[in-house]
């Protein structure tokens, strides 16, 4: 009887070991590439700088001459092993197509369900002294060591603007306290993506500029046409741009 039990135990151990080995062999290994591509729209229209009129939620018409914003601290979400990009700071500029697409080049093979990122530059980098690349002050997205980076910049014109020149100037900064304009966004993929060492996944993220003027705070250009310092107005419009992004495609 003891011999039979011992034999049965050894057999079960062999089955468990075999299953474990098979599971290990099925686990993806290596790194793959995920290309993030940002597209900026105004409602259902592609954003065209300087030469197209749009209508905001309040009914004010406007043109856009500049749209820049920082995307940072990018993370691909997964059930077990999320991926976080290192040195994750990107300046997206509508006037520069090359800035609107970039690779996450060392993503571990696996399945990812969505992504999380920050609109703006985190507080640490705001007080870290002179920097280079996307964070170089010469990019025109930096105020001073006290007030830090401009997280989101939009400029244009509107006949309804309260400014003498009918301009629209929205420069949102402020990285600490109750009026911080940093916003963290989490977007889920309609279908999880599978990263492998072959092939390249693409994730298209569309920003709808109408959201900047819509919800939860409807913007009237006669009353709000220039915001160029940290404060309650900038904070309120940051609450709006937190809602502007959606994933419109994710896959090979």
> What does the alpha-carbon distance between residue 192 and residue 212 come to, in Å, rounded to a whole number?
29
pLDDT of residue 144: 83
* 1, 86, 135 from 28: Cα distances, Å: 43, 21, 35
The pLDDT of residue 38 is 98
Which two tokens mark 142?
């930096």
> pLDDT tens digits, residue range 142-192?
998 778 999 999 999 999 999 999 999 999 999 999 999 999 999 999 999
Instruction: Summarize the confidence of residues 107-134 as an average pLDDT.
Output: 94
Ramachandran bin of 32, using left for φ above 0, alpha for ψ from -120 to 50, beta for the remaining angles:
beta
């Amino acid at each position: 009887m003891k011999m039979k039990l011992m034999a049965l135990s050894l057999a079960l151990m062999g089955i468990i070991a075999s299953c474990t080995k098979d599971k290990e062999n099925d686990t993806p290994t290596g790194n793959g590439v995920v290309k993030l591509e940002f597209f900026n729209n105004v409602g259902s229209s592609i954003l065209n700088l300087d030469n197209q009129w749009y209508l905001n939620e309040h009914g004010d018409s406007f043109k856009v001459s500049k749209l820049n914003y920082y995307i940072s601290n990018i993370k691909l979400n997964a059930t077990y092993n999320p991926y976080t990009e290192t040195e994750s700071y990107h300046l997206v500029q509508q006037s520069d197509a090359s800035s609107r697409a970039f690779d996450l080049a060392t993503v571990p093979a696996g399945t990812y369900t969505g992504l999380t990122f920050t609109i703006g530059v985190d507080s640490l980098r705001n007080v870290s002294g002179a920097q280079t690349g996307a964070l170089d002050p010469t990019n025109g997205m930096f105020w001073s060591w006290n007030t830090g980076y401009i997280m989101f910049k939009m400029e244009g014109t509107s006949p309804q603007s309260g400014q003498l020149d009918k301009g629209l100037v929205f420069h949102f900064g402020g990285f600490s306290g109750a009026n911080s304009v940093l916003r963290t966004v989490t977007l889920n993929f309609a279908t999880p993506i599978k990263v492998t060492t072959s092939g390249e996944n693409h994730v298209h993220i569309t920003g709808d500029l109408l959201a900047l003027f819509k919800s939860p705070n409807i913007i009237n250009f006669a009353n709000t046409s220039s915001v160029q310092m940290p404060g309650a107005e900038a904070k309120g419009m940051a609450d709006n741009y937190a809602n502007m992004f959606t994933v419109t495609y994710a896959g090979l």
